[in-house]
């Protein structure tokens, strides 16, 4: 079994980006600038956004974090998005999701200039992705493709089963794995909460991508020998063993399945760190344009 080490791979990618930024800036080019909007103070969103801002500094990007209160109106949030769209110094904009219930997430996503949509969530960028046209790929799916590529995991002709159809991971992942690309060219089955006989399907997967948000959901009786497992889940649970009092669990029972896998991403240290690396890569692409 080979561990798909997202921590190391994301570190390598960040180093590659830092070298490129250094060469752009030292030859008089523009410093990449990412702007993030965080609404409210949800603990997980706060952690993710802070990690993104910190990663920007590490690779030599400029970043701006705009904090808005939980009760900000949709109108005021849209005005903030417009301000950033119109600011030519800012190359990329992300609005951290989820947003409070009174705000229409799709309306906010659609308000982001597709040229600055480094999350790749705008409908026009999702459309370009589906058509295999150049665009910003959503960061988590892009991170998974990058891991598959850098570890030479064969995907062509394989059966890829995706569990979960979220707009951020499952749905784009199913499209990307079926595209005529490397990685890609899979026969894809997208499963979700209404799927019948899930175990019968997962047992036929050569590549299993799990993004449903239920800790340790996938067990060894659900997989076949030699499967490549990508675990996108991150559930925080109480733990006496860690200093922080918390530990992170994936959607896959790692200890139970590991002996049956050809490749597997750990949690933490698998898909998670790759997401930020790909966000930085999308921002650099925007700057170069």
Which active-site residues does the annotation give? 52, 96, 119
**Binding residue for ligand GUN, selected from 119, 146, 231, 251, defined by CB under 6 A:** 119
- Count of residues that interact with ligand GUN, criterion CB under 6 A: 9
Nearest to 109 by CA among 101, 99, 100: 99
Residue whose Cβ sits closest to ligand GUN: 97
Distance between CA 86 and CA 236 in Å, rounded? 38
Window 138 to 157, contacts with ligand GUN (CB under 6 A) = 139-140
Question: What's the closest the beta carbon of residue 249 comes to ligand GUN, in angstroms?
Answer: 17
DSSP code for 233: -
By CB under 6 A, residue 94 contacts ligand GUN = yes
DSSP H helical ranges for the chain: 6-26, 43-59, 74-85, 105-111, 123-130, 139-150, 170-178, 198-202, 254-257, 271-288
* Encoded tokens for 108: 């906010």
Helix (H, G, I), strand (E, B) or coil at 167: coil
By CB under 6 A, residue 168 contacts ligand GUN = yes
**Binding residue for ligand GUN, selected from 66, 97, 198, 248, defined by CB under 6 A:** 97
Task: State which H helix or E strand residue 235 sits in.
Answer: strand 235-238
Question: What's the closest the beta carbon of residue 233 comes to ligand GUN, in angstroms?
Answer: 12
**Binding residue for ligand GUN, selected from 9, 35, 63, 96, defined by CB under 6 A:** 96
What residues make contact with ligand GUN under the rule CB under 6 A? 94-97, 119, 139-140, 168, 275
């Amino acid at each position: 079994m080979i561990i798909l080490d997202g921590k190391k791979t994301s570190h390598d990618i960040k180093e590659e980006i830092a070298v490129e930024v250094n060469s752009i800036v030292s030859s008089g080019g523009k410093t990449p600038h990412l702007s993030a909007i965080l609404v409210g103070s949800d603990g997980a969103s706060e952690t993710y956004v802070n990690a993104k801002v910190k990663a920007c500094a590490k690779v030599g990007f400029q970043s701006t974090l705009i904090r808005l209160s939980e009760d900000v109106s949709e109108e005021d949030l849209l005005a903030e998005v417009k301000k950033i769209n119109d600011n030519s110094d800012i190359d990329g904009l992300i609005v951290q999701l989820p947003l409070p219930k009174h705000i229409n997430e799709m309306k906010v996503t659609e308000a982001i200039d597709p040229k600055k949509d480094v999350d790749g969530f705008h409908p026009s960028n999702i459309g370009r992705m589906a058509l295999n046209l150049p665009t910003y790929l959503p960061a988590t799916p892009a991170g998974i493709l990058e891991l598959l590529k850098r570890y030479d995991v064969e995907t062509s002709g394989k059966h890829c089963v995706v569990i979960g159809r979220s707009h951020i991971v499952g749905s784009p992942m199913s499209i990307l794995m079926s595209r005529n690309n490397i990685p890609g060219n899979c026969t894809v089955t997208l499963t979700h909460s209404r799927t019948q006989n899930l175990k019968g399907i997962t047992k036929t997967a050569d590549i299993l991508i799990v993004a449903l948000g239920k800790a340790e959901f996938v067990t060894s009786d659900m997989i076949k020998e030699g499967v490549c497992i990508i675990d996108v889940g991150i559930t925080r649970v109480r733990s006496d063993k860690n200093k922080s009092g918390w530990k992170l669990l994936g959607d896959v029972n790692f200890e139970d399945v590991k002996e049956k896998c050809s490749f597997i991403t750990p949690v933490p240290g698998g898909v998670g760190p790759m997401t930020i690396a790909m966000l930085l890569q999308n921002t650099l692409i925007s700057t170069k344009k």
